[in-house]
Structure 1
Amino acid sequence: MAVTVRADINPHSAEPTKLFTPAFITGWLINLSQYLCFYFLITVMALYAMREFGASEAAGGFAASAFVVGATVARLFAGWATDRFGKKPLLIGFVALGTMATLFYIPASSLPMLIAVRLVHGFSYSMASTAVMALVQSVIPNSRRAEGTGYLALGSTLATAFGPAVALFVIEDFSYNTLFWITTISSAIGLILALLIRKPESVLRRQLAAASQPKSAWSIKSVVHPNVVNIGVFMLGVGLAYAGVITYINAFAEERNLTEGASMFFIAYAVAMLVMRFFLGRIQDKHGANPVIYIGLVSFFLSLGVIALATENWHVVVAGALSGLGYGTLMPAAQTIAVSSVPANQIGAGISSLFLFTDIGIGLGPILLGILVSATGYSVMYGVLAVVVIIASVFYWATLSKHSMYQ
Structure 2
Amino acid sequence: MEKINLWTKNFIALVCSNALLFGGFHILLPTLPLYAAANGATGAEIGIITGVFGFSAIFIRLFTDLGVSTVGKKNCLYLGLGISVFCTIGYALFNSVNEMIALRVLHGFGFGLTTTFSAVIAADIIPASRRGEGIGYFGLGSTAAMALAPAAGVLLITDYGFVPMFLIAALASGLAILGTKLCTVPKFVPDEKKSVVNISLLDKLFEKGTGIPALLTMLFGISYGSINTFIAMLAHEAQIPNAGYFFIVGTLCVFISRPIGGRIFDSKGAAWIILPGAVLLFAALLVLIQTTTLTMLLSAAVLYGLGGGFLLPALMTWMLNLVRPSRRSGASATFYNMLDVGTSAGAIGLGAIAGDVGFINMYKYSAGAMVLFLILFILQWLLKPKKQAVVEVEENMD
Using structure 1 for the length normalisation, give the TM-score: 0.90
Paired residue type of 1:313: L
Give, in angstroms, the shift of residue 345 of structure 1: 0.3
Counterpart of 2:33 in structure 1 is 46
Partners of 2:289 and 2:181 in 1: how far apart?
Answer: 47
For residues 197 and 212 of structure 1, do their structure 2 counterparts lie closer, same or farther at Cα, with a shift above 3 Å needed? farther
Partners of 1:102 and 1:194 in 2: how far apart?
Answer: 19
Paired residue type of 2:227: V
Counterpart of 2:349 in structure 1 is 368
Paired residue type of 1:161: A
Of 151, 155, 158 in structure 1, the residue corresponding to residue 144 of structure 2 is 158
Counterpart of 1:124 in structure 2 is 110
Contact 2:10 2:182 in 1 (8 A): no
Cα deviation, 1:23-68, whole Å, max 9, x if unaligned, reads 111111111122112211122212211112x111111122222322
Of 232, 235, 239 in structure 1, the residue corresponding to residue 217 of structure 2 is 235
Cα deviation, 1:375-400, whole Å, max 9, x if unaligned, reads 21222211222222111101011124
Paired residue type of 1:329: F
Give, in angstroms, the shift of residue 179 of structure 1: 0.8
Q: Mapping of 1:67-146 within 5 angstroms?
A: 67-78=53-64, 81-82=67-68, 85-146=71-132
Give, in angstroms, the shift of residue 285 of structure 1: 0.4
Give, in angstroms, the shift of residue 214 of structure 1: 7.8
Q: Mapping of 1:27-42 within 5 angstroms?
A: 27-42=14-29
Partners of 2:219 and 2:66 in 1: how far apart?
Answer: 25
Q: Which runs of 5+ in 1 are unaligned?
A: 1-13
For residues 232 and 59 of structure 1, do their structure 2 counterparts lie closer, same or farther at Cα, with a shift above 3 Å needed? same
Counterpart of 2:260 in structure 1 is 279
Counterpart of 1:3 in structure 2 is none
For residues 399 and 85 of structure 1, do their structure 2 counterparts lie closer, same or farther at Cα, with a shift above 3 Å needed? farther
Classify the secondary structure of the residue corresponding to 1:226.
coil
Contact 2:10 2:125 in 1 (8 A): yes
Cα deviation, 1:337-389, whole Å, max 9, x if unaligned, reads 11000111010000111221121111101211122112212222112222221
Partners of 2:194 and 2:221 in 1: how far apart?
Answer: 35
Partners of 2:263 and 2:142 in 1: how far apart?
Answer: 20
Partners of 2:95 and 2:218 in 1: how far apart?
Answer: 37
Contact 1:400 1:406 in 2 (8 A): no
Give, in angstroms, the shift of residue 92 of structure 1: 1.3
Give, in angstroms, the shift of residue 213 of structure 1: 7.8
Classify the secondary structure of the residue corresponding to 1:20.
coil
Paired residue type of 1:352: A
Contact 1:102 1:180 in 2 (8 A): yes
Partners of 1:368 and 1:213 in 2: how far apart?
Answer: 41
Paired residue type of 1:116: A
Counterpart of 1:198 in structure 2 is 184
Counterpart of 1:387 in structure 2 is 368
Q: RMSD between aligned alpha carbons?
A: 2.0
Aligned length: 386
Counterpart of 1:326 in structure 2 is 307
More deviation, 216-225/40-49 = 216-225
Paired residue type of 1:188: G
For residues 282 and 166 of structure 1, do their structure 2 counterparts lie closer, same or farther at Cα, with a shift above 3 Å needed? same
Give, in angstroms, the shift of residue 183 of structure 1: 0.7
Of 233, 237, 240 in structure 2, the residue corresponding to residue 251 of structure 1 is 233
Counterpart of 1:8 in structure 2 is none
Partners of 1:72 and 1:96 in 2: how far apart?
Answer: 18
Counterpart of 2:330 in structure 1 is 349
Give, in angstroms, the shift of residue 15 of structure 1: 5.6
Give, in angstroms, the shift of residue 304 of structure 1: 0.6
Counterpart of 2:396 in structure 1 is none
Partners of 1:45 and 1:307 in 2: how far apart?
Answer: 28
Q: Percent identity?
A: 27
Contact 2:258 2:313 in 1 (8 A): no
Partners of 1:384 and 1:366 in 2: how far apart?
Answer: 12
Partners of 1:160 and 1:228 in 2: how far apart?
Answer: 27
Partners of 1:27 and 1:198 in 2: how far apart?
Answer: 10
